[in-house]
Each structure stands twice: as C-alpha cells, then as structure tokens.
Chains A and B, each alone.
Chain A
Amino acid sequence: MTTTDALMPPPGDAPPPAAAATPTAGGLPPSESVARQTWQAFRRNPLGLVSAGVLILLGLVALAAPLIADYPSGYGEDVLAGPGAGHWFGTDDLGRDVFAQVVWGTRVSIVVGLAASLLAIVIGVLVGVAAAYFRPADLVLGVIVDVSLSLPVLPLMILVAALAGPSVPTLVVVIAVFSWPEVARVVRSQGLAVVPMPYVSAAHVIGGSHLWIIRKHVLPGVAPVVAVSVVLTTSRAVLSEAGLSFLGLGDPNSWSWGTILHQAQRSGSLATAWWTTLFPSLAILLLVVATTLLAVAYNDARNPRTR
C-alpha cells in the first residue's frame, strides 16, 4: 500500500469525496460551503497549520534566497569550520558557507520537486482519467501503469540520469517519468467512482462532448485526490532529487540539498564535519514531514467522517 493509498478512505467508509466537492442537485451543500468546512476543520489542526507554515517559510526562503545569503561560489579560507557566528551552519571543504548552500539549495530542491511533481501529475491525471472514462482503454492503460509501478525505480532513475547527463531539466524529467504511475492509479480509482454518477450520465444524455464532460464533471470530481497527490508527489520528488544528487547525478552547476550531501560524502568529511550533512538533511526532513502532515491534515479536513 502506498502512502497515497493510506490517505484515501477505504471503500464504503465514506461517500466519494467527488460527490461532496461537486455541485449536484442531490441536496449536497454548495462547493463554497464544502471549502469553508474543509478550511474550518483544517485550521483546528495544529500539525496541519504548522506544516503549512513550514512549507510557506521554505517557499519564502527559496524566493528570497538572494536577499538572505550570497550565492555560494569560489572558495573561503576557513575550510571545514564548525558552526559559529561567522558561519551559522559552518563551512564545507572549500570554505564555502553551508547556510548559503542550504538557502540556495532550497530553491533548486523545491523547483525540481514542484516541476517534477506537476509533470507527473499532468501525465498521471491524463492517464488516470482516460482509463476511468474510456473503459476499453482501461485494460491497456492499467497494464502500463501496473508494469510501471513494478519497475525498480531507483536503479532505473540512476541509469537514465547517468546516461542523460547531469542537469536540472534531466532530473525533473527523470523523476516525473518514474512518478506518474502512482498518480494515475489514484486518479483512476477516484475517476471510476465519478464516471458512473447520474450527473455524468445526464451530461451524456444532453449531448455533451467527451472533452466537455471530462473538463466540467470528471476533473472536478478527482480534484481533491489530485491536490493530495501534488503535495505527496512533490515531497517524493524532493527526496528523489536529493537521492540522485547524493549519488552524484545532480546538476553540478547549481546547489540543491542533495548536492550539499554529495559534496560532503565525496570529500571524506562525512564522519568528521557533521555540520556539512546535518543541516541539508534537516531541510529535507522538514520539507518531507511538513508535506506529509499537510496532506494528512487536508485529507482529514476534507473527509466529513474525520473532520
């Protein structure tokens, strides 16, 4: 069971969220009301609020990196200096400020995470909705998704990244290519609950085109799981980026948290200069835990049973 599965209500446990999120004539409250109820439930959850705060903070750090620290380049005279007043997070084996690396690394790590996640979401939603809506295509797409999910992802990522050469676009594409199947599976299962709904059938009857029905009725129905998927896929993408960069397959022309770890490992200072690994690791931990908790909190707030 994947993390995403764990966040989904079990079958029969609750009405399909799509029903609650989509304006229908079935006596359900209007969407504004659902959004307000979700927000009210969400803001009562301190872990969710703190997680959202952490993510907003990391986003601000990424945006304001040039205002916070100079871009780490060149070299410094204090090689492998411990944390102190001059260098809050210490220095690396070329005397560069680790704090500046973590700050600038936030930008690349989040950009790679978001870009890879969005790409994976686009592919996953297209495949998932197509499989749910066009039933004859379901078998073929289902097999493709299942095969993709059974592939050993990390070795393949390493192989492709090594062959394609290190760069940020390469990382984005490689991570997205191996992340979309999970999104597709979740979206498909949600789509299967939405497509048989009476209002979708009604849309068929009044002569709505497939594209219009998908855009107006199916996509809004799967939107809540997509929102959760975006958050979780982003955190997984950040982890993948850190992993690939740690293995030396990151972009040497930019800083990311994984790149900082890779340089610490390669220099042989991993065991002696703890600060070179602790702070980028904490940043990764913060982002991943915050995204996970945010997704959990959102899912709980959205689900009437767990509000």
Chain B
Amino acid sequence: MRTFRRAIAVAAGALSIGLAATACSPSNPDSQAGGGSGGAADRITIGTTADVLNYNPLVGNSRTDTWVTNLMYPRMMSMGMDGVRSPYLASKWEYLDGGRKAKFTLRDDFTWSDGEKVTADDVAFTIDAVAKEKIGVVAGLISSYQKSTVISPTEIEFQLSQPDGTFLENVGFWMPVVPEHVFSKVGSVQKFANDKDWVSAGPYKLTTVERGQRYVLERMENFPLVEGGPKTKEVVFRVFPDVNTEALALRNGDVDLIANALPPPLAKTLEGDSKLKLVKVPSLGWAHMQYNTARKPLDKLEVRQALAAAVDYEAIRRVALQGKAVSSNSSVLTPTLKQWQDPSAKEYAHDPAKAKSLLTGAGFKDGNGDGLFDGLSLRMIYDQADPNISKWAQLVRDSGKEAGIEIKLEGLERNTYVEKYTARDYDIYAGSWAIMENPPANLALAFKCKGFINYANACDPELDALIDQARGQLDQAGQKGPIQQAAKIITDKVYDNVLYVEEFTIAHSAEWSNFLVQPSELLSIVNPVSVAQATKG
C-alpha cells in the first residue's frame, strides 16, 4: 500500500512539474500585435530565435544582430534579387583613373536620429576605422583601400593601391555607415559596445532592450526611401529560443512575422494555413563541405574526389531539404548569380563504386574486411544548432559508409564550432555561406592562400592568379572569364564541395502585405525598406 501511495506521489510530482513549466511560460507583452488598421499600424512584431549579441553594426555578425542593426544604420547600396547592387545611401558610384580611384555620390536627405545630417564625413570615418582597426570581414574585403578624400558633404573619393573592380560593391553593400560625431568619441570603434543611447539613420531607432524577451524600435519619420516615412510606428523583435514555439506564436497571432528561415519540415506544415503567407527567398550563398587539404590524407586529390563521389546530392536536396534547394552543379558560381554562372558546370556524380576505386588507387585497403578502408576515419564538424546541416550531415556519414569511408560527426555547440573552424581543427568542415554575391571578392577570401575564410586551407598559385586577374578588372564582363576558370579549378580539385543553394521560406501573417523581398536570409523581407513599407490590412 505504501508503495502504491509513493507511486501516486511520483505521478503527482511529474504532473506538478508539467503544470509549473506551463505556468512559467513567458508572458506576452505584445499580444496586441499590429494594432491599428487601414495600412498604417502601431506595431509589427517579428520573431527571432536569438538575442542581439552586438549592437555595433561594424562588429556584430549574427543574424539577429544584422536584422536589428540593418534597421538602424544605412549602407551605401542595397541589393536586387540577382545580387546586383541598387542605390541606398549612395545614389551613384564609379571608378576613376583606370580603377585606382573610386567615388560615391550620396543622397542629401538622410539624417541621424539626433538631427545631424548623414554626410561623406561619416563614410570616411567609418571606412578609416574599419581599415585601421581591421574590423570584421569588411577589412578583408577592402585590402586595396589607401585613403579617402571628402570632396563635398555628398561626395567621397577613395584612393586604391591597385585597380580593384570589387571595391565599390564591397564597401557599398557590406559596410554600414556609423555616425562620426558619436563613434569618434569612443576610442576604439571595434571595442565600442554601442548598447545604449543609439543614434541611427535607418527607418527605425532602437529604444528598449529586454534581453531574452524583446527589442523595441521606434519609427524615424524622415526616412527618405519610403514615401511619407515608415508605415508602422513600432517594430518589436521577440526572442523565441525554440523555432517550434516561434511557429506556434505566429499561428496564434502573437507575432506577425518570423525573421529566420523555417526548417523545411516546419515550412511544409504551415503551407496549408490560410492565416499565413509563405515567401520564397533565394539564397545568395551555398551549403557545402570543405576538406582540409593541409591534413593527410585529404591533401591527395583522389581522396577528395572519392569523398565528393560518396555524397548523395539528390537525396540531400529531396529528403533533407524537402525539395527546398537547387543544385549548384558543384560550382561556387550558383544559379542565383545568373550573370556569373558557368553553363558547362556539372555536379559530382554520386558513385560509391568510383569512390572505392579512387581510394584503392590512392593506396587504401580494407584489410580487416569490415567494409571500411583502414586508416580512413575523418572528423566532420558542424554547428549542431543548424537544422539543415545537422540533417544532411547524417546522410553524408551514411553514404560515406557505403563507399567505405568512415565519417565521424561532431555536431558542436556554436562557440566550440567557431573555435574549431577558426583553428582549422577538422578534417571536414560542413557549413553554409549566407551571402557570397560578389565572386571576385568572395573567392579571394575563401580560396586564396591564407584567405580569411579559406576553410579548405587551399593554396593553389594558378587559382590565386585567376582571382587576382578578375579583381583587376573594373567591370563584370572582364571579371567573368577568369572567375569561371577559377570556379572550374575549385570544382576539379575539390577545394569546395557545394551541395545546394537553399530556397528559404519566410512566414508572415496574411494580414500584412507590401513587403519587399530581397535575396538571402539576412535581407529577405526583414530588410529596412521592406519593414518600413509593409502595411497591415
């Protein structure tokens, strides 16, 4: 009898824990999402899965950092669906003096939230700070920058060390402009947290931060890129650490839009919901594996080719991505960037027999008859929080086994993952690029000897020469030839195994419309103009 009573107590305890967990669910201060009617609304609530880590737009690089700071700090250029640049703060740009100089002409109607005008001095200050303090990826993109000259409040000219046809687009899109009159007073710009008293010039200004809960931004009435200013008074980012809860909040009307791309299975289940609208957004990057060529036996081309032949690309796209991805024909020139694409590119064939034959040719044997080549066990690292990569990594491991290759998965917590890939401590790196829209610049970073993001540790003089040749050209037509040759080398030598280009699914409430779709998860419909011009009802 005593035992029975204890059993009841155990069950009651478990139930009470469940009830307590329910009672501890975060309250919803934004339950009146998107009040108002007739187009303009009081508030749009956007769901995100992470907090802002860094409010300094020159340093922050997480997705939530980018979504929030993009609404606050202007860039010189925006981007069309095919990756082609369009005006934002800059109205015009050109190369001069055979490519040794570059010039931006700015709009004159952007104003910082404290009333100061946005001028060429702000641009000059920002690029000098980035170059001097080597801040983030932008510093790696402007290696040819020498100095800037402010010609007038709306004109700025840059002196370059050599003709560089990638400079203007790199600076234009990748460098947010920060207010000189604020950031010049903080000492090191790189170390500046910028976590209060924000002065910004985008469509919205950050006003309230409740860490782990929400970020509130207020409308900047005089934002010039949307006629009459932003339509919605307030933008609220709400944090949902779990994407399932986030989706439930969207269905319940607690949020109006989910900023992060939905995992394909979840997107599929939301397709039939009439209260929601799903937006397809092409990626400007790609998902890939890179083999560490600085390690044996991956320094052998045959081993890398065998690994490439041991991947079932079609299954990854069809099953793991639920068809929400397209092939890039194993090329770093993806279908999204139509103006760069090489029509002769062909995807690696999934051929386990060929993989085995290549490995046998490279001297590997299966001495113990366990179906795996002896001495060929490779560690593959990836971010375990990435829903897609975590899925296809399992398919890569299982198809590798069919080809006699043992691949040990290391799904790592984000910080450990960053630490490992920064130290190049892996055999196989699995990841994805968010935006690789400017091949001459991106390939230099990703494949030149000691490139900032050269995760294959590739060092190929022929490849380096072609990338340099492309960067020396001032127009896309001149860059295309050498870039396509470089891409072919990358494919042939398996410096990068591009698996697919994802088609993101972004979900929002059907009550909202008039979003402006831009490519990539970072821009999608959460880009500044889109949020500013969106209307309800």
Contacts and interface: CB of A to CB of B under 8 A. Distances in A.
B391 A253 contact: no
Contacts of A166: 384, 410-412
A75 B13 CA distance: 39
B30 interface: no
Given A166-B411, A267-B263, A271-B244, A296 B6 contact: yes
Nearest to A163: B416
Contacts of B315: 75
B247 to A, nearest CB: 7
Contacts of B393: 252
B248 interface: yes
A92 to B, nearest CB: 9
A249 interface: yes
Given A93-B391, A165-B412, A166-B384, A253 B397 contact: yes
A266 B390 contact: yes
Task: Tell me which of B2, B3, B243, B385 has the highest count of chain A C-beta atoms within 10 A of its own C-beta.
Answer: B3
A300 B3 contact: yes
A159 to B, nearest CB: 9
A94 B395 contact: yes
A252 B3 contact: no
A20 interface: no
A268 B247 contact: yes
Nearest to A267: B265
A48 B3 contact: yes
A47 B4 contact: yes
Nearest to A164: B416
B456 interface: no
B485 to A, nearest CB: 36
A270 interface: yes
A293 B10 CA distance: 9
A93 B384 CA distance: 16
A252 B398 contact: no
Interface residues of B, number: 41
B244 A265 contact: yes
Interface string A140-178: 000000000000000000000011011000000000000
Contact of B413 (A248, A263, A270, A289): A248
Contact of B266 (A74, A163, A267, A306): A267
Contacts of B384: 166, 248-249, 252
B499 to A, nearest CB: 15
Contact of A272 (B7, B266, B385, B401): B266
**Chain B interface, DSSP helix/strand/loop, else mixed:** helix
Q: How large is the interface on A (under 10, 10 to 19, 20 to 34, 35 or more residues)?
A: 35 or more
B487 interface: no
Nearest to A269: B265
Contacts of A296: 3, 6-7
B409 A252 contact: yes
Interface string B316-353: 00011010000000000000000000000000000000
Contacts of A306: 2
Contacts of A163: 416
A248 B391 contact: no
Contact of B322 (A79, A252, A273, A297): A79
Contacts of B394: 73, 94, 252
A306 B411 CA distance: 49
Nearest to A249: B413
Given A271-B248, A297-B3, A79 B319 contact: yes
B319 A269 contact: no
Contacts of A253: 397, 408-409
Given A75-B395, A253-B397, A271 B247 contact: yes
A263 B384 CA distance: 10
A21 to B, nearest CB: 21
Contacts of A252: 384, 390, 393-394, 409-411
B387 interface: yes
Nearest to B420: A165
Interface string B252-282: 0000000000110111010000000000000
B319 A45 contact: no
Contacts of A265: 242, 244
A75 B320 contact: yes
Contacts of A22: none
B352 to A, nearest CB: 12
A165 B425 CA distance: 13
Interface of A: 45, 47-48, 73-77, 79-80, 93-95, 162-163, 165-166, 248-249, 252-253, 263, 265-273, 289, 292-293, 296-297, 300, 306
Given A47-B3, A93-B265, A252-B394, 11 more contacts: A73-B398, A75-B398, A263-B391, A266-B390, A267-B391, A268-B267, A269-B269, A270-B242, A296-B3, A296-B6, A297-B3
Q: Can you list the 8 inter-chain pairs with the closest CB atoms, starting with the nearest?
A: A268-B266, A162-B413, A268-B263, A270-B244, A252-B409, A248-B384, A272-B269, A252-B411
12 contacts: A48-B3, A74-B398, A95-B319, A162-B413, A165-B410, A165-B412, A165-B416, A166-B384, A272-B269, A293-B3, A293-B10, A297-B3
